[in-house]
């Protein structure tokens, strides 16, 4: 599986989260500095968060049914168009209405049974998913939430297990 996060936040923060959580791909807005002074922001992630990630998903040759997306706010709603499994993580009413599953606890471990159920009991053998979730709980002090967390599952490999 591959993991991907997309955030309207600054790259300095998102890159730290990417490193600590060992996320494969991270998309965020780039802060531009000159002579150690902030000069501006290169907006990579705008109001439609699907735009910066579509090419990456296409490059990975992932189909909609291979993608699990967790979101929380109405500004993330277009991301659901890309997902086979849509999870609301402490989401707004609109997100909850359009989700396949809802988690109302501030504990990312709660998404694991949902993913297990979707993939008929199969859960990533790679320890990264457990580690990702455990580290993300610790890092919530750094950033109140992981805005959009994707799990990309290669279903063709699942069928061989």
If you average pLDDT over every residue of the chain, what do you get?
77
| Percent of the chain predicted with pLDDT > 90 | 31
Is 127 or 89 the better-scoring residue by pLDDT? 89
Separation between Cα atoms, residue 30 and residue 97, nearest integer Å: 32
Note the pLDDT tens digit of each residue in 123-137. 444 444 555 554 444
Look up tokens 């993939």; give the residue. Answer: 119
Whether pTM > 0.85 for this model: the answer is no
Q: Kindly tell me the sign of the dihedral angle through the C-alpha atoms of 133, 139, 144, 148.
A: negative
Question: What would the mean pLDDT of 32-57 be, rounded to a whole number?
Answer: 92
| d(C-alpha 27, C-alpha 4), whole Å | 8
């Amino acid at each position: 599986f591959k993991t991907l996060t997309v955030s309207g936040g600054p790259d300095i923060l998102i890159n730290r989260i990417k490193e600590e959580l060992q996320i494969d791909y991270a998309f965020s807005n780039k802060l531009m500095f000159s002579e150690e002074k902030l000069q501006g922001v290169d907006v990579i992630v705008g109001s439609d968060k699907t735009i910066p990630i579509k090419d990456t998903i296409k490059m990975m040759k992932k189909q909609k049914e291979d993608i699990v997306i967790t979101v929380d706010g109405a500004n993330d709603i277009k991301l659901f168009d890309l997902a086979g499994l849509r999870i609301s993580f402490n989401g707004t009413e609109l997100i909850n209405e359009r989700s396949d599953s809802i988690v109302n606890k501030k504990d990312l471990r709660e998404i694991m049974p949902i993913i297990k159920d979707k993939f008929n009991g199969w859960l990533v053998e790679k320890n990264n998913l457990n580690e990702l979730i455990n580290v993300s709980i610790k890092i919530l002090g750094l950033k109140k939430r992981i805005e959009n967390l994707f799990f990309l599952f290669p279903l063709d490999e699942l069928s061989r297990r």
